[in-house]
């Protein structure tokens, strides 16, 4: 028998209501300690106390979760399923204390155990199941879906090892594995009953009596075991889940006879092979990675999730014609695109739905979000790899492609070049499956993640598709969770905002921050705003709290141009040395971010930053004015510490390269002022906060493309600009260490991202920064106005946009406790 239905919540049996007093919470905490950790107050380790607390907090959400599940079951709503290979959920304890409203109770109860909440929060490890912006966006969107009462499940992979831990060894990046759940993870509910079976390899066979249907005889069988984490909404009863799949060998994968014969490694090799699928997150960001195991991960995620989605659909529905009414599946980039042919396979081969009907259902069910413009990030897979790993899917893709190209041919008769450009199969030296094309063809809606990005998608990478289906293409500008990135990260600022606005309703209605505008001119409010920033800088401890805290925190990538910031730092160093008595503004330049382990050029830049930083620190003339700090192992937790302390936000990518950026939003919301190009969401930030409150520089995307087309020669800039020349020469000469040569060669040789072309304009913008900084009233006003006019960048707004224009879903209200 399957699981019982949820019609009656806990089958009509009420749960014991959890207490609302400190004493009751303390009782719950003791219960957790005794009955779930199996220890006592006297012998509890800090880890025991942390686990017991986490379980008690989790219980308070589990209750809401049960009511959510019952309400969803009762209303049989339209569901959003978010498919993402990455989630950067951040630390859970503090968030769940906030979302369950138990922070105060917990603090008191923990004190009675002789511990402090802060001490236990330090034991809370973030699951680093993502690389950067794309993974964090997934986390912000599931937060906002719950907050907006949207019935939703996020599906992902439970990697044993998340994004690597970064440390510096002699100033260079070193990587260690991130064994994040080594000590257990109290936030996770395993659900072995919902295990799924996934097939790989093998061959297909015809099915008697059908031209279309096939039988897939697999060569490998792997199990997917789910567990879920709770995703509470803020200021509402809804608690959704993120369901993460972990690969397991099947029972048959353990070879007892070999084991008995002493062949221990051989006995488990099949199981090991299976489990490797969810072993580790690929640490690339914005680059395609053509690796068989990665495609296996993607299919593993999609196959498990689709079967789970179908299982859930069938709890309340019978007719496949209702599937697309009840289901929307959002693909977070192309990583889960294999779900499109997988749904076709399930419908056609397993459920015997006719091809045309299945295709109509599939196209209506999926929507695709593209997160990049970089050609090297557009995923393609060799046909021969597909053929071997997923033979049936390749056949289905061929059929989809044939029918699609027929559609194109009808619209544009005789345009063979167009057919070649649009085909899902790319014909080069090696035939490859183009996942972005498949994602556009198999979905109802395609969106970019900021206005400029969506426009460039329509006009460049996907222009043929936009010509064919103009209505399919949309923009949904990214957003960030104000709970995590203001309330939790910056409690001082949150309190001040709440005081200024009169209540804390802004936390789920972020446009209300506009009310700060009238306080921007209030001298005492401004004074307190400044004091908050200063106190946050003291907490961070990166440098002198009275210095200008200039932060560049993001993945290391040449397109993001950390090297441009570095050229600025070297130029400041030269200027101060040349004029030690000058009226210099003290600055702390803070970098943080990881480079993909195989990305040599990016790792060189990290090393050079640290070398420059060391040179400056050792220079008694310059050190009082300039400090370079590299914070190791950037992750969500570290972002929450740095963002509140930032004065200046560096968003200096070459225009047309950063799809959106979301760090830019977090920093603006916390009162940092942006120095940036007209790229990604910077454009929308500037439009809202006002051009006088934003330091703009550089080529725009159109100009950048023109420069590239005309034939870019970085040396011309070098020859023309003495300060630029001095900076590059110093780097090249090895003044700061050996890697300088390589970095300089790349800048002078090709400089793919036009660093030198934007150098002078960037320095001019930095002069403007210093002029503003010298006038603290002006600066503070700019800072307040940045926060006041960034309300648009709440992920609640992003989710509302998706809900209205792409998902067409309505909220379901979860009743309060009876
Ligand atoms: O997605 C973020 C955007 O704000 C950023 O601008 C964008 O760079 C980022 C392959 C990616 N695009 N593509 C990736 C991540 C992992 C991987 O394996 C590509 N990440 C982005 C949110 O929209």
pLDDT digits (tens, 9 = 90+) for 76-128: 999 999 999 999 999 999 999 999 999 999 999 999 888 999 999 999 999 99
**Stretch 47-70: mean pLDDT, rounded?**
96
**What's residue 13's pLDDT?**
64
Would you say residue 2 has pLDDT above 60?
no
One domain for residues 701 and 746: yes
Asked whether residue 519 is domain-assigned, the answer is: no
Q: What is the ipTM of this complex?
A: 0.99
Would you say residue 449 has pLDDT above 90?
yes
**Stretch 689-710: mean pLDDT, rounded?**
98
Beta strands (DSSP E) in 163-291 are 165-169, 172-176, 188-190, 196-200, 203-206, 214-217, 220-232, 239-249
**CB environment 518-553: b (16+ within 10 A), e (fewer):** ebbeeeebbebbbebbeebbeebebbebebbbbbbb
Q: Write down the H helix ranges in 86-207.
A: 93-100, 103-112, 117-121, 133-147
Q: Can 666 be counted among the known catalytic residues?
A: yes
Task: For 732, list phi and psi in degrees, rounded to 5.
Answer: -65, -35
Shortest-distance Cα residue to atom 15 of ligand 1: 285
**Stretch 727-738: mean pLDDT, rounded?**
96
**What's residue 323's pLDDT?**
98
Mean pLDDT of the chain: 96
Asked whether residue 497 is domain-assigned, the answer is: no
One domain for residues 312 and 428: yes
Q: Can 555 be counted among the known catalytic residues?
A: yes
Q: What whole-number distance in Å separates Cα of residue 602 and Cα of residue 607?
A: 9
Q: Can 554 be counted among the known catalytic residues?
A: yes
Residue 804: DSSP 8-state: I
Give residue for tokens 């001298």. Answer: 523
Give the ligand 1 atom nearest the CA of 86. Answer: 16
**Stretch 138-155: mean pLDDT, rounded?**
99
Best residue for ligand 1 mutational test, from 142, 371, 447, 451 (most atoms within 8 Å of Cβ): 371
Q: What whole-number distance in Å separates Cα of residue 581 and Cα of residue 567?
A: 22
3-class secondary structure, 781: helix
**What's residue 266's pLDDT?**
95
Asked whether residue 702 is domain-assigned, the answer is: yes
Asked whether residue 528 is domain-assigned, the answer is: no
- pTM score > 0.90 for this model? yes
Q: Can 662 be counted among the known catalytic residues?
A: yes
Shortest-distance Cα residue to atom 19 of ligand 1: 286
One domain for residues 40 and 83: no
CATH of the domain at 364: 3.40.50.2000
**What's residue 4's pLDDT?**
45
One domain for residues 16 and 165: no
Asked whether residue 506 is domain-assigned, the answer is: no
One domain for residues 176 and 119: no
Q: What whole-number distance in Å separates Cα of residue 70 and Cα of residue 315?
A: 13
Residue 155: DSSP 8-state: E
One domain for residues 147 and 26: no
One domain for residues 765 and 745: yes
Q: How many CA atoms lie within 13 A of 160 on its CB side?
A: 13
3-class secondary structure, 649: strand
Would you say residue 624 has pLDDT above 60?
yes
**What's residue 279's pLDDT?**
98
Our measurement of the distance from residue 156's CA atom to the centroid of its chain's CA atoms, rounded to an integer in Å, reads 12
Q: If you count DSSP H runs as helices and E runs as strands, how many of each does the chain have, helices first?
A: 33, 25
Orientation angle between helical segments 562-578 and 755-773, nearest 10 degrees? 60
One domain for residues 143 and 212: yes
Shortest-distance Cα residue to atom 17 of ligand 1: 285
| 445: enclosing H helix or E strand | strand 445-448
In degrees, rounded to 5, the angle at the alpha carbon of residue 57 between the alpha carbons of residues 52 and 59 is 95
Please tell me which residue, 20 or 372, carries the higher pLDDT value.
372
Asked whether residue 644 is domain-assigned, the answer is: yes
Q: Is 722 exposed, middle or buried (0-12, 13-18, 19+ CB in 10 A)?
A: exposed
Which of the four pLDDT bands, split at 50, 70 and 90, describes residue 637? very high
Q: What whole-number distance in Å separates Cα of residue 536 and Cα of residue 377?
A: 37
Those residues whose C-beta lies under 8 Å from the C-beta of residue 320, and which sit 6 or more positions away, are 347, 351, 353, 357, 361
| Residues spanned by the domain of 593 | 539-793
**Stretch 508-531: mean pLDDT, rounded?**
98
- CA 659 – ligand 1 centroid, Å: 8
- Which of 476, 499, 516 terminates a domain? The answer is 476
Asked whether residue 530 is domain-assigned, the answer is: no
**What's residue 14's pLDDT?**
67
Q: Is 193 exposed, middle or buried (0-12, 13-18, 19+ CB in 10 A)?
A: exposed
One domain for residues 468 and 572: no
One domain for residues 770 and 752: yes
3-class secondary structure, 455: helix
- CA 392 – ligand 1 centroid, Å: 30
Per residue in 747-777, pLDDT (tens digit) is 999 999 999 999 999 999 999 999 999 999 9
Share above pLDDT 90 across residues of the chain, in percent, rounded to a whole number: 94
Our measurement of the distance from residue 733's CA atom to the centroid of its chain's CA atoms, rounded to an integer in Å, reads 39
One domain for residues 181 and 217: yes
Asked whether residue 491 is domain-assigned, the answer is: no
Terminus-to-terminus CA distance in the chain, angstroms?
A: 30
Per residue in 175-225, pLDDT (tens digit) is 999 999 999 999 999 999 999 999 999 999 999 999 999 999 999 999 999
Would you say residue 142 has pLDDT above 70?
yes
3-class secondary structure, 382: strand
Q: Can 560 be counted among the known catalytic residues?
A: yes
Pairing, β 380-382 against β 366-369: unpaired
| Structural domains of the chain, count | 3
Residue 652: DSSP 8-state: -
- Which of 476, 493, 525 terminates a domain? The answer is 476
One domain for residues 25 and 141: no
């Amino acid at each position: 028998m399957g699981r019982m239905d949820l019609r009656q919540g806990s089958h009509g049996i009420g749960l014991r209501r959890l207490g609302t007093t400190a004493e009751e919470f303390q009782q719950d905490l003791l219960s957790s300690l005794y009955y779930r950790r199996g220890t006592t107050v006297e012998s509890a380790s800090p880890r025991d106390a942390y686990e017991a607390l986490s379980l008690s907090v989790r219980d308070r959400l589990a209750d809401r979760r049960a009511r959510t599940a019952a309400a969803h079951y009762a209303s049989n709503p339209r569901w959003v399923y978010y498919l993402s290979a990455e989630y950067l959920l951040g630390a859970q304890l503090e968030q769940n204390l906030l979302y369950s409203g138990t922070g105060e109770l917990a603090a008191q109860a923990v004190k009675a155990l002789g511990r402090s909440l802060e001490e236990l929060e330090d034991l809370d490890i973030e699951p680093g199941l993502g690389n950067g912006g794309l993974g964090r966006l997934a986390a912000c969107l599931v937060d906002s879906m719950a907050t907006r009462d949207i019935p939703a499940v996020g599906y992902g992979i439970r990697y044993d090892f998340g994004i690597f831990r970064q440390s510096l060894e002699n100033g260079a990046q070193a990587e260690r594995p991130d064994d994040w759940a080594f000590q257990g993870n109290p936030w996770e509910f395993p659900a072995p009953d919902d295990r799924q079976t996934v097939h790989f390899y093998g061959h297909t066979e015809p099915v008697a009596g059908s031209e279309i249907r096939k039988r897939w005889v697999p060569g490998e069988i792997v199990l997917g075991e789910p567990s879920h984490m709770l995703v509470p909404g803020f200021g509402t009863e809804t608690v959704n889940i993120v369901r993460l799949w972990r690969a397991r060998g099947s029972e048959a994968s353990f070879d007892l006879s070999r084991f008995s014969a002493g062949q221990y490694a051989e006995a488990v090799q099949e199981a090991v092979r299976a489990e490797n699928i969810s072993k580790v997150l690929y640490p690339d960001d914005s680059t395609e990675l053509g690796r068989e195991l990665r495609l296996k991960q993607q299919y593993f995620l999609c196959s498990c999730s689709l079967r789970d989605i179908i299982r859930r659909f069938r709890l309340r529905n019978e007719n496949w014609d209702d599937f697309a009414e009840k289901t929307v599946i959002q693909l977070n980039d192309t990583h889960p695109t294999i779900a499109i042919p997988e749904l076709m396979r399930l419908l056609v081969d397993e459920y015997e739905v006719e091809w045309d009907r299945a295709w109509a259902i599939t196209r209506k069910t999926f929507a695709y979000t593209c997160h990049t413009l970089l050609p090297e990030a557009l995923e393609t897979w060799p046909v021969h790899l597909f053929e071997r790993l997923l033979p049936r899917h390749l056949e289905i893709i061929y059929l989809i492609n044939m029918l699609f190209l027929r559609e194109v041919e009808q619209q544009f008769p005789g345009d063979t070049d167009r057919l070649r450009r649009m085909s899902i199969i790319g014909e080069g030296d090696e035939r490859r499956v183009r996942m972005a094309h498949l994602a556009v063809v198999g979905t109802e809606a395609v969106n970019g993640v900021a206005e400029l990005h969506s426009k460039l998608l329509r006009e460049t990478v996907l222009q043929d598709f936009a010509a064919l289906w103009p209505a399919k293409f949309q923009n949904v500008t990214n957003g960030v969770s104000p709970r995590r990135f203001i309330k939790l990260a910056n409690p001082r600022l949150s309190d001040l905002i709440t005081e200024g606005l009169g209540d804390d309703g802004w936390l789920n209605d972020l446009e209300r921050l506009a009310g700060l505008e009238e306080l921007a001119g209030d001298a005492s409010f401004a004074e307190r705003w400044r004091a908050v920033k200063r106190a946050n800088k003291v907490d961070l401890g990166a440098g002198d709290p009275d210095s200008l805290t200039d932060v560049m925190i993001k993945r290391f990538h040449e397109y993001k141009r950390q090297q441009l910031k570095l050229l600025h730092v070297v130029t400041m160093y030269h200027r101060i040395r040349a004029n030690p008595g000058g009226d210099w503004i003290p600055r702390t330049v803070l970098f943080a971010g990881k480079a993909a382990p195989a990305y040599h050029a990016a790792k060189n830049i990290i090393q050079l930053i640290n070398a420059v930083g060391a040179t400056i620190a050792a220079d008694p003339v310059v050190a009082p004015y300039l400090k370079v700090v590299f914070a190791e192992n950037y992750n969500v937790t570290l972002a929450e510490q740095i963002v509140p302390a930032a004065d200046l936000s560096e968003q200096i990518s070459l225009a047309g390269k950063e799809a959106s950026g979301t760090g830019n939003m977090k920093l603006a919301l916390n009162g940092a002022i942006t120095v940036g190009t007209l790229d990604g969401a910077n454009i929308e930030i500037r439009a809202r906060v006002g051009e006088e409150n934003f330091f703009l520089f550089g080529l725009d995307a159109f100009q950048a493309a023109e420069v590239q087309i005309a034939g870019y020669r970085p040396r011309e800039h070098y020859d023309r600009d003495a300060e630029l020349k001095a900076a590059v020469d110093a780097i090249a000469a090895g003044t700061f260490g050996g890697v300088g040569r390589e970095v300089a060669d790349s800048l002078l040789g090709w400089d793919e991202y036009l660093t030198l072309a934007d150098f002078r304009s960037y320095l001019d913008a930095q002069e403007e920064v210093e002029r503003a900084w010298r006038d603290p009233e002006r600066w503070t006003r700019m800072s307040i106005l940045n926060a006041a006019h960034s309300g648009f960048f709440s992920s609640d707004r992003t989710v509302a946009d998706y809900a209205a224009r792409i998902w067409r879903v309505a909220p379901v209200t979860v009743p309060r406790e009876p």
